[in-house]
Amino acid sequence: MEAEVFHKALQMMDVLCLILEEGVVRFANGKAQTTLGKKLLGQQIKEDLLQSQTPFVKWKSFNIGRYTVCLGTDVSHEKSEIQRLKGELEKRREFFATATHEIRSAANSILGYLALFVDEEIKLAHREELAQKAYSAALRLSALVNDLLDYVRIEEGAKELEDEPLKINSMLHEIVEDLKGYAFRKDVELQVPSVGENLTILGEKKAFCRVMRNILDNAIKFTSVKEKGEKRVTVSFSEEEQGISITVHDTGIGIEPEKLPYLFEPFISYSPGGTGLGLALSKKLIELMQGEIAIRSAGTDKGTTVELWFRRAGVEK
Ligand SMILES: Nc1ncnc2c1ncn2[C@@H]1O[C@H](COP(=O)(O)OP(=O)(O)O)[C@@H](O)[C@H]1O
Ligand SMILES: [Mg+2]
């Protein structure tokens, strides 16, 4: 067979190919020329330095008579995968550092109240208040740990949800019953109209209720802290062919535009005592139910609107 055929075949190969004779390049295919970026023929190349000069290439070499054939595979995609994994690892490290910090401060606040409680100098009447505070702090810690565990399980792909038809009306009714007292104490009017008994979405009841509670809790909390003006939270629905939109609108303190893109990240909270896990977890749960969530606000004191979308039950795909 003619040498020209080998020559052409080597040119077409997807690997880098160099043939050296006593360290001098006698042949370099196109891929080697472009990767090494210089005129190679006749150049002296130190075989042991080749690897360090080309970090994104994995070289193998073997001798045939007085020639050394060096074949290099482009591994830059592996490097970018390593880079991606490193970023992922760093994100996780940060997540666990913040999570541990949050748990420690919650535990410390319980310990603080209990230390005062057992202090003999503290009056009996005051003790009751301290026990109440320790109890509330313990509830917060337990909610935090539950949210964290769920968030991590979803991130790891270990959490699966039921996919069942859920009647919105009765579920919302239950949630509103729970939150009515809270809204009243916070001087916020809560308006949730009834929807058709048979309006049904697909998802898991526990997850749906958790999401709605988080969103309504935020709406009430961030409306109650407003200094003046009306304080109202309104829920509305709109039926579409494939799904159902639920809109939670409040007349509260609103959100600055620069904060909007980060609200679904874990631990992003702009409220004292907030964990910043509510929206992050809600988004994950909604995505597991193949729904959507978006939050918008025209700015400080302009109120906030959260838009949720769920698949409708009984709709053929
Ligand atoms: N209805 C709302 N009105 C104003 N700000 C909101 C509203 N909902 C969410 N936010 C903003 O999003 C942040 C993240 O919310 P969330 O994840 O529930 O955390 P948290 O409630 O613990 O602060 C809040 O700290 C707040 O700044
Ligand atoms: Mg919240």
Specify the length of the chain in residues. Answer: 317
Alpha carbons 8 and 194: distance in angstroms, whole number:
76
Q: Same domain, yes or no, for 55 and 90? A: no
Cα 279 to ligand 1 centre (Å): 7
Beta bridge partners of 238: 245
Mark whether 146 and 245 lie in a shared domain. no
* 128 and 253 co-located in one domain: no
CATH number at residue 35: 3.30.450.20
Whether residues 286 and 183 share a domain: the answer is yes
Cα angle 155, 277, 137 (rounded to 5 degrees) comes to 125
Answer yes or no: do 8 and 121 share one domain.
Answer: no
Q: Say how far apart CA 265 and CA 278 lie, in whole Å.
A: 10
Q: Is the CB of 36 under 6 A from ligand 1?
A: no
- Angstrom distance (rounded) from CA 76 to CA 61: 19
pLDDT score at 316: 59
- Rounded distance, CA 139 to CA 211, Å? 19
Q: Indicate whether 124 and 168 sit together in one domain.
A: no
The domain boundary, picked from 40, 74, 108, lies at 74
Would you state the pLDDT for residue 1?
Answer: 63
Is 317 inside a domain boundary? no
Indicate whether 145 and 279 sit together in one domain: no
Residue 259 located in a structural domain: yes
Within this chain, do residues 176 and 280 fall inside the same structural domain, yes or no? yes
Our count of domains for the chain comes to: 3
Position 52, amino acid: S
What does R_g of the chain's alpha carbons equal in angstroms? 31
Report pLDDT for 78.
87
Determine which helix (DSSP H) or strand (DSSP E) holds 170, and give its type and residue range. Answer: helix 168-185
183 close to 217: Cβ distance less than 8 angstroms: no
Query: How far is the centre of ligand 2, averaged over its atoms, from the C-alpha of 151 (Å)?
Result: 14
Q: What is the pLDDT at residue 125?
A: 80
Model pLDDT, residue 198: 83
Ligand 1 pocket check for 147: Cβ under 6 Å: no
Q: State which residues form the domain around 186.
A: 164-311
Same domain flag for 56 and 147:
no
Nearest-CA residue for atom 18 of ligand 1: 278
- Going residue by residue through the chain, which has 317 residues, state the pLDDT in tens, using 9 for 90 and above: 678 888 888 888 889 999 999 999 999 999 999 888 778 899 998 888 888 888 889 999 999 999 999 999 999 888 888 889 999 999 999 999 999 999 999 999 999 999 999 988 877 788 889 999 999 999 999 999 999 999 999 998 888 899 999 999 999 989 999 999 999 999 999 999 988 888 899 999 999 999 999 999 999 999 999 988 999 999 999 999 899 999 999 999 999 999 999 999 999 999 888 889 999 999 999 999 999 999 999 999 999 999 999 999 876 55
Q: Which residues make beta-bridge pairs with 307? A: 247, 294
Structure tokens at 273: 């005592």
Shared domain for 121 and 186, answered yes or no, is no
Both tokens assigned to 305: 């609107």
Query: 229: helix, coil or strand?
Result: coil
Q: Are residues 134 and 224 in the same domain?
A: no
The neighbouring-strand residues paired with 206 are none
Please give the Cα distance from 134 to 140 (Å, whole number): 10
> Angle at Cα 61 formed by Cα 59 and Cα 62, nearest 5°?
165
Same-domain pairing of 41 and 108: no
